[in-house]
Amino acid sequence: MPEISTLAAFCAATLVLLVVPGPAVLYIVTRSVSQGRAAGVVSVLGVHTGSLVHIAAAALGLSALLAASATAFTIVKYVGVAYLLWLGVRKLMQREEGEQALELRVQSKRRLFWEGFVVNVLNPKTALFFLTFLPLFTDPDAGPVGPQILLFGMLWLLLGMASDGAYAMLSSALAGRLRTSARARRRMNVGSGLVYLGLAAWLTTEKA
């Protein structure tokens, strides 16, 4: 079991990293602004269910294979890029229809959840982050490293859900007035699409 001072240092470092918006935060904010608070919260749950996959992989050593193999990294990266491109193009092509545009149309919560899950699972930087960041706080003298990584991973998950949940609440609150206008929502669709396309472009710059 890591010492309390180590856990405190880990939590402090994690909070510093979490407040800086990354791909997951931008995805959550986009969903919250375009579809409301509930969509943002469901997206948070989907994203961090994806985080569980990366935490388990890091604990089991599977992420090491991704880090060591440029081919595996490239395959996962471009699958993620393709998915983000699809989301972006779909948003840019979406059109509002007459008076119906005045009502906010929310996708099913299941769809929102799984989109968030896929976006995070297919982000190789997330896997590499857990591989390189979590082990920094482990101590072989304190016991097996795997359980320690799981502990740090779960702490990161709790802090991440709190941080991303705050982003979802704030962004959805600020977007409330904009959603009363069909023209404003069209602009949000364009903005959302550009965010997805920007994330795809950003992801292509990540190197193994």
Give the model confidence (pLDDT) of 131-185 as tens digits: 777 877 877 777 777 888 889 999 999 999 999 999 899 888 877 655 555 665 5
Look at residue 12 and tell me whether its pLDDT is greater than 80: yes
Q: What is the sign, positive or negative, of the torsion defined by CA atoms of 174, 176, 181, 182?
A: positive
Look at residue 207 and tell me whether its pLDDT is greater than 60: no
Amino acid 102: pLDDT: 34
- Contact indicator for 167, 28 with CB cutoff of 8 Å: yes
Structural domain spans, the chain: 4-13+23-204
pLDDT interval class at 124 (50, 70, 90): confident
Total Cβ atoms within 10 A of residue 152:
26
| Residue ranges in the chain assigned as alpha helix (H) | 4-18, 23-35, 37-60, 62-68, 70-93, 109-121, 124-133, 145-174, 182-204
pLDDT interval class at 15 (50, 70, 90): confident
Angle at 160 between CA 159 and CA 163, to 5 degrees: 85
From residue 172, how far is each of 32, 100, 106, 167, 179 by CA, in Å? Answer: 5, 21, 13, 8, 10
Q: Is the pTM of this model over 0.85?
A: no
- Contact indicator for 54, 130 with CB cutoff of 8 Å: yes
Q: How many residues does the chain have?
A: 208
